[in-house]
Amino acid sequence: MLVNSKLPNVGTTIFTTMGALAREHNAINLSQGFPDFSCDIKLLDLANKFMVNGFNQYAPMQGVIQLRETIAEIISTCYNATYNPDTEITITAGATQGIYTSIAAFIHKGDEVIVFEPAYDCYIPAIELHGAKVIPVQLSYPNFNINWDEVKSLINAKTKMIIINSPHNPSGTTLNESDLKNLESLVKDKNIIVLSDEVYEHMAFDNQPHQSVARYPSLKQQSIIVSSFGKTVHTTGWKIGYVAAPDYLMKEFRKVHQFLVFAVNHPFQLALSEFLSDKNNYLELKNFYQHKRDLFRKMISGSRFKIEPCTGTYFQLLNYSAITDENDCDYAIRLTKEKKLASIPLSVFYTKQTGNKLLRFCFAKKTETLEKAAEIINSL
């Protein structure tokens, strides 16, 4: 049978590819972003408690109300903003589903969606699957800033969505207050939805508060926030996240959500709700990862890599232009095979290549893993 692919240019994701290569070559794996340490045992005990107590059938379509209330409380604590847990928050099967569902719910054939590059890998395929056009805007190297005049010049009647992501994967940089104000004024009074990927919301460093769209009342009214508990409580394998949006947007979001996934893992939602009712379990995260960032950067400070700025997430970019002329994919593969260290080449997050020589390393790892990685990095 002839298959008419809807995604003819898409292969297996870089995370799957580099993870498999790391396993095959027994390499230290700083490629895909996930912790190599356990989550809090209290969270596991809570998950077990709710399973044993019989919460093993379908959860409500919107997510359990306890968790939605906890999320409303977190957003209020962190960003001083109000979302109605009943009508404005939905639990999703990870942020990936929240992003896909948002695009499916609002993007029509022929629409234009502005995406900043380097862009996390799930945005563009979802836009293309809905027949819309991706309008890429390059973030400027090395600070990965947004040129808002350029964004303004690209907005037209077809522009229906702008996707932002701060703290930003893969660059490890963050947007500031003036970025959010620029965005707010650009979309005001226009039929443009801002899809704000905030999965690293609790990992903004150096005493700079995370700039959630929720902080800006006018912007909040036309934004969908997507986040993920995988990052916040070290459980990327649970695939539970959430979406927060004003009720008129959430109503449409749920129309799609109920047919895409219907409901999300029930006992784990209850466990997350109880665990996150202790504020320390999310407020402390930035110190935890800032410490890892500082440790990793110090360990490799004498290496030949240029250590790029990192103000959020658990990713550190390293520029290898002083070491080799190879392109980043070739070098990342060679490092994994020959030096036993896996990373992610940055070019995979671009539609238009830059020629920058950058690799992304995940520092959500035990000290001993970071020490072993640093030893390899310092030997190059």
Give, for 226, the enclosing helix (H) or strand (E).
Answer: strand 223-228
Q: Are 238 and 93 in contact (CB under 8 A)?
A: no
Least Å distance, CB 336 to ligand GLN, is 15
Least Å distance, CB 158 to ligand GLN, is 29
Q: Which of 361, 312, 35 is nearest to 166 (CA)?
A: 312
349 binds ligand PMP (CB under 6 A): no
Burial 349-375 (b: 16+ CB within 10 A, else e): beeeeeebbbbbbbbbbeeebbebbbe
Cα–Cα distance, 293 to 315 (Å, whole number): 8
DSSP state of 209: P
CA 275 to chain centre: 22
268 binds ligand PMP (CB under 6 A): no
**Selected range binding ligand PMP among 88-96, 184-192, 254-262, 365-373, rule: CB under 6 A:** 88-96
319 binds ligand PMP (CB under 6 A): no
x/- map, 111-150, ligand PMP, by CB under 6 A: ---------x------------------------------
From the list ligand GLN, ligand PMP, none, which binds 221 (C-beta under 5 to 8 Å, kind-based)? none
> Which two three-digit tokens encode residue 364?
């959500």
For ligand GLN, give the closer residue by CB, 32 or 277. Answer: 32
Site residues (CB under 6 A) for ligand GLN?
13, 15, 32-33, 169
SS percent in the chain: helix, strand, coil, step 5:
45, 15, 40
> What backbone phi and psi angles, to 5 degrees, belong to 154?
-95, -15
184 binds ligand PMP (CB under 6 A): no
Q: Are 253 and 224 in contact (CB under 8 A)?
A: yes
Q: How many residues bind ligand PMP (CB under 6 A)?
A: 14
Q: In the bound complex, which residue of the shown chain has the CB atom lying closest to ligand PMP?
A: 94
169 binds ligand PMP (CB under 6 A): yes
Q: Which of 287, 197, 195, 272 is nearest to 230 (CA)?
A: 272
269 binds ligand PMP (CB under 6 A): no
For ligand PMP, give the closer residue by CB, 230 or 267. Answer: 230
Interface residue with ligand PMP, options 59, 95, 107, 114 (CB under 6 A)? 95
Cα–Cα distance, 162 to 115 (Å, whole number): 6
From the list ligand PMP, ligand GLN, none, which binds 85 (C-beta under 5 to 8 Å, kind-based)? none
Q: Are 159 and 114 in contact (CB under 8 A)?
A: yes
Give strand pairing partners of 91.
Answer: 242
Binding to ligand PMP, residues 195-234 (CB under 6 A)? 197, 199, 228, 230
Least Å distance, CB 50 to ligand GLN, is 26
Give strand pairing partners of 197.
Answer: 165, 226
Least Å distance, CB 380 to ligand PMP, is 26
- Give ∠ CA 133-241-58 in degrees, rounded to 5: 115
For ligand GLN, give the closer residue by CB, 15 or 148. Answer: 15
> Which two three-digit tokens encode residue 184?
């707010």
**Which residues bind to ligand PMP, rule: CB under 6 A?**
33, 94-96, 120, 165, 169, 197, 199, 228, 230, 236, 239, 241
